[in-house]
Chain A
Amino acid sequence: MIDLTMHLTTDEIELWAQGLLPAPRAIHLADCSLCRVEADRERKVILELVQLPKFAPSAGFADRVMAQVKVPTPSGDWEQRR
């Protein structure tokens, strides 16, 4: 039996931020101003994090990597790509 008066844990707040909080706990959140404030603060940080951009390395990065990758030769040896 879930105690509806129990405050949300950090894991539950993360679930809520993802829209995955089970209904009984969502009921507590709706009624508890302390949990709502805490959850809102946490959601703001999570939102900022998930919206971070992905950066790209400079042009020609893959070619520079592949130039240093060893490839197998027909004799079974490995040689560096040129």
Chain B
Amino acid sequence: MRRYERPVFSLLYRMVRDRALAEDLAQETFIKVLNGIKSYRPEFKFSSWIFKIANNAAIDHLRRKSIDTLSLDGAPSAETPEQVRATSLQLGDRAESPLDEVESRELGTAIERAIARLRPEYRSCILLRHVEGYSYEEIADTLELPLGTVKTYIHRARNELRGYLEDRRD
């Protein structure tokens, strides 16, 4: 378990951007893995199985709580400036707890903020590809997505990241 603790927690933390919540989801993931070890199918990489459970936990949570609407840019469905403002994630407008400070230090870099702006499904693909070093095929297996979709998500994610990072430099 120690071997996967950091990769799984890091993926979840970047997906939900909340340390305590990421830890709960990581805990839920490992409990599911260890209690359901008999259902593990050895034709899959063990790490893929764990990431699949972790990613499902994150996506389920984001859907349930509609946290994906807490984009820095406002909800994708927001059409008017008022709707955009109402659904935007406001940074630095409340007193920060020590945990908030840790989070802003850890996730406050330009690249982390750019990742946060991606759609959740782009985020998991790009993190598995470039942080975990998974191949496109492994990502497709892990996330149960067609290979072409994975490629499209990763290319779009990189394009969007480039855009965000280049805007910052301009």
List residues of A whose CB falls within 8 A of some B CB: 10-11, 41-42, 44-46, 48-50, 52-58, 61-62, 64-66, 68-70
Interface digits, B1-24 against A, CB 8 Å rule (1 contact, 0 not)?
110011101100100000100110
Q: What chain B residues lie within 8 Å of A41 (beta carbons)? A: 162, 166
Is A55 a contact partner of B165 (Cβ separation < 8 A)? no
Given contacts A44-B165, A62-B2, A65-B1, contact A57 B9 (CB under 8 A): yes
Q: What chain B residues lie within 8 Å of A55 (beta carbons)? A: 6, 9-10, 13, 106
Is A70 a contact partner of B35 (Cβ separation < 8 A)? yes
Partner of B158, one of A42, A57, A58, A61: A42
Q: Is the interface of A mostly helix, strand, loop or mixed?
A: helix
Q: What chain A residues lie within 8 Å of B31 (beta carbons)? A: 65, 68-69
Q: What chain A residues lie within 8 Å of B158 (beta carbons)? A: 10, 42, 45-46
Is B5 a contact partner of A62 (Cβ separation < 8 A)? yes
Q: What chain B residues lie within 8 Å of A44 (beta carbons)? A: 162, 165
Interface digits, B153-170 against A, CB 8 Å rule (1 contact, 0 not)?
001001001100110000
Given contacts A57-B5, A65-B34, contact A42 B162 (CB under 8 A): yes
Is A54 a contact partner of B6 (Cβ separation < 8 A)? yes
- Write the chain A residue with the least CB distance to B13: A55
Is B131 interfacial (CB 8 A cutoff)? yes
CA gap between A42 and B6 in the complex, in Å:
27
Is B49 interfacial (CB 8 A cutoff)? no
